[in-house]
């Protein structure tokens, strides 16, 4: 249950953070592809960071400075790869293109931007040493019934997204960016 709760917590926090940033960049845009306030790529990224850090990196017997450098390199690559896979799968499976970096100076195709890769690396260090230790206290207090409720709501959201990908009766502006070359 712990990792499921991590997934939901960080997917919601990622949605809120990205939506907040969009308010300053593009007020008509929202985070994610689902109807609900959740962006799964952030939850997946968080779980990958937590697991790799716990199962592999924390067991290394090297200087703390080198650990941080190693974390930065590994998670920069990992999160950039996750962004590529997420962008590719959204396009192939749901015909949605929520970001496209071809107009950015340091892009590698549509779904990778090297300047954003650096941001993912910096964020991963902040996540490991500041964000997760703080949020983890709340994650551990989520009751089992709450987790089941999150799962049910998430499944319903996925069903709505697949059956009504362009708004249906609950139109949202986030689906208007399919094929957009803005990000």
- pLDDT tens-digit map of 35-64: 888 999 999 999 999 999 999 999 999 999
Q: pLDDT tens, 8-37?
A: 999 999 999 988 887 888 666 667 788 888
In order, the DSSP letters of 131-170 are IHHHHHHHHTT--HHHHHHHHHHHHHHHHHHHHSTT-TTS
Distance CA 165, CA 40 (A): 16
Q: How many CA atoms lie within 13 A of 5 on its CB side?
A: 16
Q: What is the pLDDT of residue 96?
A: 79
CA 179 to chain centre: 20
Q: What is the pLDDT of residue 85?
A: 94
Task: Kindly state the percentage of the chain with pLDDT values over 90.
Answer: 58
Q: What is the pLDDT of residue 164?
A: 75
Structure tokens at 149: 């409720």
Q: What is the pLDDT of residue 166?
A: 56
Higher per-residue pLDDT: 149 or 91: 149
Residues 50/6, Cβ–Cβ less than 8 Å: yes
pTM: 0.83
DSSP 127: I
Average pLDDT score over residue span 162-173:
52
Residues 113/104, Cβ–Cβ less than 8 Å: yes
Q: What is the pLDDT of residue 182?
A: 42
Judged by DSSP in three states, 17 sits in helix
Residues 114/106, Cβ–Cβ less than 8 Å: yes
Residues 151/67, Cβ–Cβ less than 8 Å: no
User: Which residues 6+ apart lie within 8 Å of 36 measured at CB?
Assistant: 153, 154, 157
Q: pLDDT tens, 109-166?
A: 888 888 889 999 999 999 999 999 999 999 999 999 999 999 999 999 988 888 875 5
């Amino acid at each position: 249950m712990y990792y499921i709760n991590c997934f939901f917590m960080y997917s919601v926090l990622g949605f809120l953070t990205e939506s907040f940033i969009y308010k300053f960049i593009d007020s008509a845009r929202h985070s994610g592809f689902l109807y609900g306030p959740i962006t799964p790529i952030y939850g997946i990224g968080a779980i990958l960071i937590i697991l790799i850090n716990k199962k592999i990196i924390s067991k290394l017997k090297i200087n703390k400075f080198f650990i941080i450098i190693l974390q930065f390199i590994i998670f920069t690559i990992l999160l950039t790869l996750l962004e590529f896979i997420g962008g590719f799968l959204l396009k192939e499976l749901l015909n949605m293109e929520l970001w496209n970096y071809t107009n950015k100076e340091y892009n590698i195709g549509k779904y990778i931007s090297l300047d954003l890769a650096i941001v993912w690396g910096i964020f991963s260090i902040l996540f490991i040493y500041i964000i997760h230790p703080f949020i983890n206290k709340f994650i551990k207090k989520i009751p089992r019934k709450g987790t089941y409720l999150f799962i049910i709501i998430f499944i319903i959201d996925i069903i709505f997204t697949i059956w009504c990908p362009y708004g249906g009766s609950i139109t949202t502006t986030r689906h208007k960016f399919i094929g957009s070359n803005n990000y």
